[in-house]
Chains A and B, each alone.
Chain A
Amino acid sequence: MTTGKIFTREQRTTIIYGILCIVLLLVVIQLWLLTATMNAFLGGDQAIAFPTLLASAFCLALNLGLLRYVYTIERPQA
């Protein structure tokens, strides 16, 4: 992945902190999903397990994409 342009140090800092906020939000959503799924599973409701796994996997994929972008943006520019 390429950023398409070279950012200044201040711009990169802003972008990185923005990404960190999004990643943190996605992790909190995943925690909520896991808690709700465990709650339903212990109560005998197993139908919710697959949809929540898909949602959690989607969040993980987003997080991995954002991590890749962080690596790209923090790479020393030539």
Chain B
Amino acid sequence: MARRDFTKFLILTSFAFTTGQLWILAKSWAAPSKQQLPGVQIASVNQLAVGNSLVFAYPGEHDKCVLTRLDSDTFVAYSQACTHLSCAVIPEPEKGRLYCPCHEGAFDIASGNPIAGPPRRPLPRIKLDFQDGAIFAVGVAQPTA
């Protein structure tokens, strides 16, 4: 391969990388705003026993979240996508954590803060509302750390 052709090939690769960056930016701009989200009923209080969890989709059908009942009065819900590489986290209320099996990451189940492994940012928390024994997801609190 001639030097000029090899240089052209490298510049084509460079162009492809820049296009990739542009695609990521477009995807992040196209993501729906999570400030004003509709309330969606996800379960009833009696449906979930203490220590049990429920997976639901919010706000979009592909945005998996997990609701866990910590005690008789405390419910917590988080996005199920690990803040490291978006693997699905598994609730382990008996150990007080949400566990990511991909890279041995873990989040505190009460706060969503990372406590082990590569994740550095907390899980986005789903805001909950209770009406007549039903649990509603009413918004997503973005992590600030």
Contact = CB atoms under 8 A, between A and B. Distances in A.
Interface of A: 16-17, 19-20, 23-24, 26-27, 30-31, 33-34, 37-39, 41-46, 49-50, 52-53, 56-57, 59-60, 63-64, 66-67, 70-71, 74
B4 A56 contact: no
A71 B20 CA distance: 27
Identify whether the interface residues of A are mostly helix, strand, loop, or mixed: helix
Given A43-B83, A53-B24, 5 more contacts: A31-B17, A33-B21, A44-B79, A49-B25, A70-B3
A16 B15 CA distance: 20
Identify whether the interface residues of B are mostly helix, strand, loop, or mixed: helix
Given A39-B85, A44-B124, A30 B24 contact: no
A23 B132 CA distance: 65
A41 B28 contact: yes
Given A23-B10, A43-B86, A60-B14, A34 B21 contact: yes
A50 B24 CA distance: 9
A38 B24 contact: yes
